[in-house]
Structure 1
């Protein structure tokens, strides 16, 4: 990312998005952080065809992120993969340009939304949590 006041002549990289997502995760309050300490973050250009098919999403630009992991409250089983958040760079960048929302706020929104689904939060709860992690 660039210093405030400087222009950027290229799209934010996967590393830029990862940095913003990790910052958003670090601002989540307890008890969320206790259950997300081992979350693996993936930044990919788009969701795979299999993910899109499983979620019945026809346009890859419609999916900005997804959380994978055992639902909250279920005990981990041997062989479980660690919980993961997948963020999709190109759809995020398109939404950023289309909405004019800051990239930091957009990524925090998607991260909170995905974590919120894992914990079974309502939309109102997710909005309150999002306010907590806003910069």
Structure 2
């Protein structure tokens, strides 16, 4: 019975799998598409990447030991700091880390995966628009 061998059990549980990177990316793109018009144009210029875990270079830069501590990251130059004189090294990118997001979703148990992905996505795009973590936390009561 533990391996799903009971009649009908495999039909219910067998095909279930954790959402892959492409599902998380589709949720993030839908979130960006739903942004208000004043943000949508600038947001469309930002790449969205989904990886299972943050790359080691991010972990070192942020002085983190546990990759489950980081569910998303904005990499780039915030809009208020951009200059026409700057030569971009690479595109601004919002990174979403699938495994930490899935872990948080399971731990919370009170939000949908789509809502959590939307929250992380909007938080990282807020950094693109030049908001600090403190400014974001003032209006975003998600964590309370």
Shorter-chain TM range is: 0.7 to 0.9
Q: How many residues align?
A: 124
The alignment status of 1:112 with 2:112, answered yes or no, reads: no
TM-score (norm 2): 0.77
Alpha-carbon separation, structure 2, partners of 1:16 and 1:126: 28
Unaligned runs of 5+ in 1: 1-5, 131-135
More displaced, 117-126 or 49-58? 117-126
Instruction: Name the residue aligned to 2:40.
Output: 33
Alpha-carbon separation, structure 1, partners of 2:87 and 2:126: 25
Q: Is the 8 A contact 1:112 1:126 kept in 2?
A: no
Q: How many Å apart are 1:32 and its aligned residue?
A: 1.4
Alpha-carbon separation, structure 2, partners of 1:25 and 1:127: 17
**Could you say which structure has the larger radius of gyration?**
2
Cα RMSD, aligned residues only: 2.2
Alpha-carbon separation, structure 1, partners of 2:36 and 2:138: 13
Please show how residues 1-135 of structure 1 align to structure 2 within 5 Å: 9-73=16-80, 74-76=82-84, 77-100=86-109, 101-121=111-131, 122-123=135-136, 127=140
Unaligned runs of 5+ in 2: 1-11
